[in-house]
Amino acid sequence: MIATSAGIINGIIQDQYGSRGEHFNENGVPTFSLPLKIENAPVNTASFAIVLEDKDAYPVTGGFAWTHWLAANITRSELKDNESQTAEDFIHRNISDIALLK
């Protein structure tokens, strides 16, 4: 199985999906989610789950990985930009709260 995102180029999340973007919640947390494409999933795969975890966050968080996004029960192989805010066919949660670190 291969999962890719056009929003990640050379291992770097593009600006529109992070703190340099234009979409934020009431706490100032970026909310514009990455597109995702899943290919070559095992036969009879019923659904997918996503964990977007930042293991490089240790210096900012005081020693633990930062989980940016969780999604479950994704029954299709492609998500478009910002579907974490608009889709109703899977369970998702943007769980980052940068305000807690300030």
- pLDDT tens for 20-38 read 889 888 878 788 889 999 9
Those residues whose C-beta lies under 8 Å from the C-beta of residue 4, and which sit 6 or more positions away, are 36, 37, 39
Q: What CATH number does the domain containing 87 carry?
A: 3.90.280.10
Q: Please say if the pLDDT value at position 19 is more than 60.
A: yes
Q: What is the pLDDT of residue 16?
A: 92
Q: Please say if the pLDDT value at position 102 is more than 50.
A: no
For the chain, how many structural domains are there in total? 1
Rounded-to-integer distance, Cα 67 and Cα 1, Å:
22
Rounded-to-integer distance, Cα 75 and Cα 57, Å:
30
Count of beta carbons in the 10 Å neighbourhood of residue 85: 13
pLDDT tens digits along 8-17 = 999 888 999 8
Count of beta carbons in the 10 Å neighbourhood of residue 48: 19
Q: Please say if the pLDDT value at position 5 is more than 70.
A: yes
Rounded-to-integer distance, Cα 34 and Cα 64, Å:
23
